[in-house]
């Protein structure tokens, strides 16, 4: 086997770090949702109704997952105009997700769901807040590749940065779906 073949078999260091981070994040959310289950069995547990805005935000993030995958394909095909359009659309959908989440949490807050008490609110805010931090990280990555797409000079067509951003964005998307289903199912 030659050196080039061996190089192709290795995972890129950025991808490796991303997968390690994803594994760590999954463990954190598994622990938090497990604690939620244990706490929800208390006698004075108060359930939380899911805001309508969360369903719209879910549609936005699902669409953004589709657009970033299409953008990655366009980048690999060197269809840079299409890539730019799809990255811009992905960033726009990411912003829509964040705005709709904000609306949903304001609705919960206005409805009396707070950090205090024996209800789901304290867990909901902590878990969703941690998810929001990861979404912000994803938005930073999307913004960087967006800026590079429009203002950077492409010297190499390495798709690794776009692949890493797309994989992480898909992860944030799937994590939100898990959390939404989890909270709807357990209240």
Q: Check: CB of residue 169 under 8 Å from CB of residue 141.
A: yes
Q: Check: CB of residue 138 under 8 Å from CB of residue 168.
A: yes
Is 50-186 in CATH node 3.30.420.10? Answer: no
Q: DSSP strand E in 21-141: where? A: none
pLDDT in tens, 107-134: 998 988 877 765 667 788 888 889 999 9
pLDDT of residue 114: 77
CA–CA gap between residue 94 and residue 16 (Å, rounded): 25
pLDDT in tens, 60-111: 999 999 999 999 999 999 999 999 999 999 999 999 999 999 999 999 989 8
pLDDT of residue 38: 85
CA–CA gap between residue 31 and residue 123 (Å, rounded): 12
Q: Where are the domains of the chain?
A: 50-186
pLDDT over 60 at 30, yes or no: yes
Q: How confident is the model at residue 14 (pLDDT cuts 50, 70, 90)?
A: confident
> Which SS3 state, helix, strand or coil, does residue 178 take?
helix
Q: Check: CB of residue 108 under 8 Å from CB of residue 124.
A: yes
Q: DSSP strand E in 8-100: where? A: none
pLDDT over 80 at 8, yes or no: no
- Nearest-CA neighbor of 132 among 160, 161, 156, 105? 105
Higher-confidence residue: 153 or 117? 153
* pLDDT > 90 in the chain, percent: 59
pLDDT of residue 103: 96
Q: Which of 104-108, 156-160, 173-177 has the lowest mean pLDDT?
A: 156-160
Torsion sign across C-alpha atoms 154, 155, 156, 161: negative
pLDDT of residue 37: 86
């Amino acid at each position: 086997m030659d050196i080039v073949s061996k190089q192709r078999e290795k995972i890129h260091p950025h991808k490796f770090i991303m997968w390690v981070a994803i594994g760590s994040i999954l463990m954190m959310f598994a622990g938090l949702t497990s604690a939620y289950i244990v706490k929800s069995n208390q006698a004075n547990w108060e359930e939380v109704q899911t805001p309508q805005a969360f369903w719209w935000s879910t549609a936005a993030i699902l669409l953004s997952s589709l657009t970033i995958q299409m953008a990655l394909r366009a980048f690999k095909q060197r269809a840079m105009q299409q890539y730019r359009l799809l990255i811009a659309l992905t960033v726009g959908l990411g912003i829509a997700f964040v705005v709709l989440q904000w609306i949903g949490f304001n609705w919960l807050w206005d409805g009396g769901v707070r950090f205090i008490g024996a209800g789901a609110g304290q867990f909901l805010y902590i878990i969703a807040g941690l998810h929001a931090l990861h979404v912000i990280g994803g938005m930073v990555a999307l913004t960087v590749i967006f800026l590079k797409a429009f203002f950077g000079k492409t010297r190499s067509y390495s798709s690794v940065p776009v692949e890493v951003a797309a994989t992480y964005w898909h992860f944030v998307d799937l994590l939100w779906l898990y959390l939404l289903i989890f909270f709807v199912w357990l209240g």
